[in-house]
Structure 1
Amino acid sequence: MKTTSPAERDIQAVKATGRDTRTEILRRSIRVNVPLRKTFVQATRTAASRHGPLSEFVTGRDLRGLKAYLMIVAACSNGTDGWSTRRDSAVWARMMDINLTAEAQGARTGAWRTLRRLQERNLVTCTRSGTDITVTLLREDGTGAPYERPLGKTPEDLYLQIPTTFWTKGYDEQVDLPALALLLVVLREKNWSKFPSDKAKDWYGWSADTHERGLKKLLELGLVERRQEFKKAPLSPTGFTMSYQYQRTAQMRPRKPRKQAAEQPTGSTGKTSGINESKKSAAAAARQGR
């Protein structure tokens, strides 16, 4: 039986996990919410088809690719490096959790193949230099156009926001493909919207069964909540109709950016400290004169 040396156990104890890697990427991106154009989920009303690039991940059963793409958006969309991010292929593999099911070289290869699929869908470009892989964002609609930060001024430029807690709290590890797709659908819409499964094929490009399974999983995970809506229907047997409305729960609502301190803390500079001391001296002099 193979034994593990104390040194090997020490290494395993401190070795970064996939979640550690994703959390560090998010920390470096200096974001609390990740912007994603709504056209990734669903095209605008004027388009010939309402299906967005998301439908290809769902019908292609590419959960790994979808998770990787969302993390790339998170890593690149702050624009600090020209909408690009460069990492060793082993880091890409760990970010995607491929290292959990493959040996080192196989994990590196799996990461590259995943990124190449994203490139084939015109969502990114990727290049290799030695073991490093550089990935550059393209526009989320799959047209291959250069990426620009969404500002929300036109229908094509509207965006949803994914709170970084989706990754840091491990929800990304719990969702399956239907749930992740439906989470993006729910985040795309206003609170308490309807998501009828009979419209799923036309609106999003996947089956009614996938649609229903996704919503069910989100309810189980507590990422959305549901309520009933009743409407009068004089010609129905019951005299009314009932439908469900959904909204994101608190943990999936956009976070407010961390506020920068308006002023430096007292005592952080000689000026602030000196002003406070002057005020104290004036108050003491006033008390003595009473």
Structure 2
Amino acid sequence: MKKTTTAEQRMQGDVATGRDTRTAVLTRSIRSNVPLRKTFVQANKGSVSRHGPLKDFVTGRDLRGLRAYLIIVAACSNGDNGWSTTHDSAVWARLMDIHETALSQSARTGAWRALRRLEARNLIECSRSGTMITVTLLREDGTGKPYDRPVGDHEENRFLQIPTTFWTQGRAEKLNLPGLALFLVVAREKHWVALPADRAPEWYGWSPDTHARGLKQLVDLGLVQKRAFKKKAPFAPLGFTIAHEYRRALITVPRKPQPKKKSVASTTP
């Protein structure tokens, strides 16, 4: 039986993983948190429907597409290249972890198809030249309008923030589709909030079961905190029922930007 030499082992190990590639993208964007308009998760009050573009990922069972979209927002929303980013199709495949389950050419094709699905939802524009693919952000509400960075100055510009450690420390990788969707729901709120499963079809567009499973996974993984409270119920035997509220756990709270260190000027004696 042929033994693998130390040199061969080193060559096999020196290959970037999906997490390595996502970390490199986030490091290059030079940020602690990634902004995402709240209208991606849920439309504003007064809209004909409260459902945001997130609904289509959940009902379409498109976990790969949702993960891809969130990392695209992280890669493009710093504005250094006009809300665009360009990578080889193999790099896009690695960003989405497609390379783990497909051979090289199939992974490249899978990445292109995933990006085209996002384009069909009016969330991005993408173009291809040879093996290079350029992706440009559009507004997160799915209207197809050009992207601009949300600044929170009015309702359409309110945003949630996802800390870059959500990707670099592998937390996103642990979540299934309900868990990732509900993470965005909880992240949309600043404080403790009740998220009753029976309101999920009206508020978000998915089933109560999906809603409950997503919240349970987040609590089980320690990404979200849960607390019980009494809710007045005139027809209940005790006059109340027990409901629950949720908020982000500390490890998923947006990080405060570190102040820039002032350089100490040298003095001449």
TM-score normalised by length of structure 1: 0.89
C-alpha distance in 2 between matches for 1:55 and 1:155: 20
Q: 1:130 to 1:2 in 2, by over 3 A?
A: farther
2:15 counterpart of 1:15: yes
Partner of 1:197 in structure 2? 197
Q: 1:99 to 1:237 in 2, by over 3 A?
A: same
SS at match of 2:90: helix
Shift of 1:28: 0.3
Partner of 1:95 in structure 2? 95
C-alpha distance in 2 between matches for 1:17 and 1:235: 56
Give the alignment of 1:24-173 within 5 angstroms: 24-173=24-173
C-alpha distance in 2 between matches for 1:5 and 1:23: 30
Per-residue CA distance 1:147-186 (angstroms, 9 max, x = gap): 0010111111110000111001101110000000000000
SS at match of 1:161: strand
Shift of 1:190: 2.5
Q: 1:119 to 1:9 in 2, by over 3 A?
A: same
C-alpha distance in 1 between matches for 2:21 and 2:144: 28
Partner of 1:280 in structure 2? none
Partner of 1:282 in structure 2? none
Which moves more between the two structures, 239-248 or 85-94? 239-248
C-alpha distance in 1 between matches for 2:129 and 2:235: 68
C-alpha distance in 2 between matches for 1:234 and 1:22: 51
C-alpha distance in 1 between matches for 2:92 and 2:181: 22
C-alpha distance in 2 between matches for 1:142 and 1:232: 38
C-alpha distance in 1 between matches for 2:65 and 2:83: 19
For structure 2, the 5+ residue unaligned runs are none
Shift of 1:231: 3.5
RMSD: 1.4
Partner of 2:242 in structure 1? 242
C-alpha distance in 1 between matches for 2:92 and 2:13: 21
AA aligned opposite 2:194: K
Shift of 1:136: 0.1
More helix by share: 1
C-alpha distance in 2 between matches for 1:232 and 1:85: 51
2:177 counterpart of 1:183: no
Shift of 1:4: 5.6
AA aligned opposite 2:23: T
2:200 counterpart of 1:206: no
SS at match of 1:105: helix
Q: Identical aligned pairs, as a percentage?
A: 63
Per-residue CA distance 1:29-86 (angstroms, 9 max, x = gap): 1111000000000001121110000000000000000000000000000000000000
Structure of larger gyration radius: 1
Shift of 1:2: 8.3
Give the alignment of 1:220-239 within 5 angstroms: 220-239=220-239
Q: 1:118 to 1:232 in 2, by over 3 A?
A: closer
C-alpha distance in 2 between matches for 1:76 and 1:99: 22
AA aligned opposite 1:154: H
AA aligned opposite 2:185: V
AA aligned opposite 2:120: E
SS at match of 1:273: coil
TM-score normalised by length of structure 2: 0.96
AA aligned opposite 1:125: E
